[in-house]
Structure 1
């Protein structure tokens, strides 16, 4: 039996916060230009801001790996406190013009408090985060504007949702086109070619063996390319589980009506050539059967570990009603 790999050694000049769903892991870089990479879910924005203040004093810049709700939820509060927000240009531009599709918030029914992007990021841009320089690496696939951050001296790679120790990011073939899975696979290959010493993922623990983590991720991503229907199902399961997490479950008799009203489910049904009603029923049955969701106290709930969310924190407007929205 081979010995277990040693735990990853983090540089002393960064602080890593591994967080349960519905938050993304958060990277803090104190120093002359204190920065935060991703800001968690809106329901925990106060907690994110308090943690950042306790460990860095102030935050000058928040860099988002992409615009999903679990990565940008603290942006508005941190921006109100003086932080600038940086994001990949393909996502910065729609936010600037207040596109109703921003953050896929309404599409996914995942609340995001209004924010603006101050620093659009192109591939190859150098950013001073804390006391070190990092390179922006465009890694589209999970979203069109997804990015990674590369610190070449330490060979550290922030990978966002592109991969984790147990998973790869789901892809949206309906919104982003049939080549989204191929795009995600190409991004993984680009990151693997950097040969990082340390991978910092947005979910789960830091992988102990980066090369093995990339090898597993490439196999998983190839399966999404080879099986588009499986990729659609994979995304539907992830989106539905997240919906249950942030709402403390959904009453059992309201679950299927809730699903019938979701744009993402309608799109998934179209791609799978089934009715939304049939897909909703099969999704619930399948996830109950796999124990990804459980029925408890009359509510369907996500089985994965996750932090509770106060219901009142979800009451933020969809991007179509964000301040600054004008006639189109």
Structure 2
């Protein structure tokens, strides 16, 4: 039996699938062109050029959440006149310039400085392009995570809440043991909308939204039922991303790099392991599964990803960002 094709999109929606370390691009065209998420800082200029070529001057960027692969183009787009909208908890932290903004330093994932012009609590209706979109709070992957719902076309932007093949990892160390339950509750609310099209931040548009939600709900329930498994899942995702943005890490530097990471130290504590044991087991298990490969003296992520220029990573952590503009 052949797999059903992906649902059709309205002419005013331009969607581009991108490999890691970037989120997919979603441009909503019309009198008020808007972009949902802006990818990784290493490809910010490419993101801005693509948006201008397909929609003209972007008036607003809506971030589904503040991770580095979703906000990396914010600074360059904001410098070009775009406003930035984001979930209220994350918007407030960015305005205060909290050191933990974007979990950039915690995850060792660079983010160029930006400000948020429009905090979103959920329940707002935004005019994006020429259509109205409802903002839905969907905490779990991050506390400020948002979804966007276009009821006439039944389009649902889901951020990292789910994809055609996965669900977003949850940070039990920073966000508490309830993060997995929050993510599951958010999925149930989104599934209840019965969208015609799911627009995820990673991977292809699911051909069968009902099946995609069914799979996501099962996987999210496992994260609730197995906190240790959720911690391992997050560690694998974070480490793979670190390898992607650095063109791999020399084999003899991998474990010292991991020992210095706050996310690994926190995961080890919750798993009742030492950071050294967790780092060694993480590397061994990912090599064994094929998620990581050894090549020319370096460990690399095996998943498809786009190279990043090393110079693009040289941006300050949020604790050194300039004050937010007023």
Alignment match, 1:210? 209
Alignment match, 1:317? 316
Alignment match, 1:97? 96
| Structure 1 residue 30, shift from structure 2 partner | 1.5
Whether 1:228 and 2:227 are equivalent positions in the alignment is yes
User: Which range is displaced more, 109-118 or 4-13?
Assistant: 4-13
Alignment match, 1:73? 72
For the Cα contact (< 8 Å) 2:12–2:29, is it kept in 1? yes
Alignment match, 2:144? 145
Query: Could you tell me how far apart the structure 2 residues matched to 1:109 and 1:15 are?
Result: 31
**Length-normalised TM-score, structure 1:** 0.98
Alignment match, 1:16? 15
Alignment match, 1:245? 244
Aligned pairs for 1:96-115 within 5 A = 96-115=95-114
Aligned pairs for 1:296-307 within 5 A = 296-307=295-306
Whether 1:181 and 2:151 are equivalent positions in the alignment is no
Superposed CA deviations along residues 82-108 of structure 1, whole A, max 9, x for unmatched, are: 000000001000000000000000000
**Length-normalised TM-score, structure 2:** 0.99
Unaligned runs of 5+ in 2: none
| Structure 1 residue 3, shift from structure 2 partner | 4.2
Q: CA RMSD in A?
A: 0.7
Describe the SS at the equivalent of 2:186: helix
Query: Could you tell me how far apart the structure 1 residues matched to 2:56 and 2:158 are?
Result: 26
Whether 1:156 and 2:143 are equivalent positions in the alignment is no
| Structure 1 residue 4, shift from structure 2 partner | 2.5
Whether 1:60 and 2:66 are equivalent positions in the alignment is no
In 2 relative to 1, CA 296–89 (structure 1 residues): closer, same or farther, beyond 3 Å?
same
Alignment match, 1:123? 122
Alignment match, 2:5? 6
| Structure 1 residue 7, shift from structure 2 partner | 2.6
| Structure 1 residue 145, shift from structure 2 partner | 0.2
Describe the SS at the equivalent of 1:112: coil
Unaligned runs of 5+ in 1: none
Alignment match, 1:38? 37
